[in-house]
Amino acid sequence: MAQSIIELKNVNIYQSNSLILGDVNISIDKAEFVYLVGKTGTGKSSLLKTLYGDLELTEGEGWVVGYNLRQLNWKKVPFLRRNLGVVFQDFQLLTDRNVNDNLKFVLRATGWKDEKLMDEKIADVLDKVGLKSKGFKMPFVLSGGEQQRVDIARALLNSPKLLLADEPTGNLDPETSDEIMQLLFHISKDYGTAIIMATHDYRVINKFPARTIKTENNKVIDNASVANVSMR
């Protein structure tokens, strides 16, 4: 298990009592970039929720960043999530405070106390996403692409081993989408972060090819052909 960031074996995923995905077997290693595709309602969100401990795993074996998903409880979930970063389509930034204070809010919420260390960490992640000089800007004066970069910076605050990106280019124009994709691949390659990106963006997958996992007919198909991906 040491090399794998995610290891799912014979996993069945349920919502209430309905089987959403059956016999899921996935292994994802450090620094690997993987697309997660499939029509709406085929289980992409359920798979992501299982990985970050929002859906309980009751059948099969699952490990994420060293945590046994079968042994998770409400006390352990926060520790699992400190090793994960989550990037949203709609940014979910706090609109009443600047970029630095958005990031500091997350650090304080995850147990950071030293102001100097927090300031250093914030400067580091903003530098990584190319926003070194934008820390004092309010979110509403930033472009969509810049807001997405802040969202990615926020996800990097606790140096996650795994980044879950849910439609991160969904609200962006093609040029800005390409910039965000280049940034994500850079983070994966240069910082050794495994990334799973759920997307409907067929253009992005073709332009930035990578291993693709598809949800379809209650199954997860690994190494799915992009040519056969039906996006909606």
Q: Single out the residue of 162, 38, 169, 160 nearest to residue 91, CA to CA.
A: 169
| Count of domains for the chain | 1
pLDDT for res 105? 95
CATH number, domain containing residue 218: 3.40.50.300
Count of other CB atoms within 10 angstroms of residue 33: 22
Q: Over the stretch 9-64, which tens digit does the pLDDT of each residue have?
A: 999 999 988 999 999 999 999 999 999 999 988 999 999 999 999 999 999 999 99
The residue range of the domain holding 221 is: 1-83+203-232
Q: Residue 133 falls within a domain, yes or no?
A: no
Share of the chain above pLDDT 90, in %: 81
pLDDT of residue 182: 96
Task: State whether the Cα torsion 197-96-158-84 is positive or negative.
Answer: negative
Residue 71 domain-assigned (yes or no)? yes
75 DSSP 8-state letter:
T
Q: Evaluate if pTM is beyond 0.95.
A: no
Domain for residue 113, yes or no? no
Is the pLDDT score of 2 beyond 60?
A: no
- In a domain? residue 10: yes
For 133-183, write each residue's pLDDT tens digit.
999 999 999 999 999 999 999 999 999 999 999 999 988 999 999 999 999
User: Buried (b) or exposed (e) across 167-192, using 16+ Cβ within 10 A?
Assistant: bbbeebeeebbbbbbebbeebbeeee
Whole-number Å distance between alpha carbons of 3 and 32 = 11
75 found inside a domain: yes
How far is 168 from 150, CA to CA, in rounded Å? 12
CA 144 to chain centre: 18
Q: Would you say residue 21 lies in a domain?
A: yes
The answer to the question of residue 106 being in a domain is no
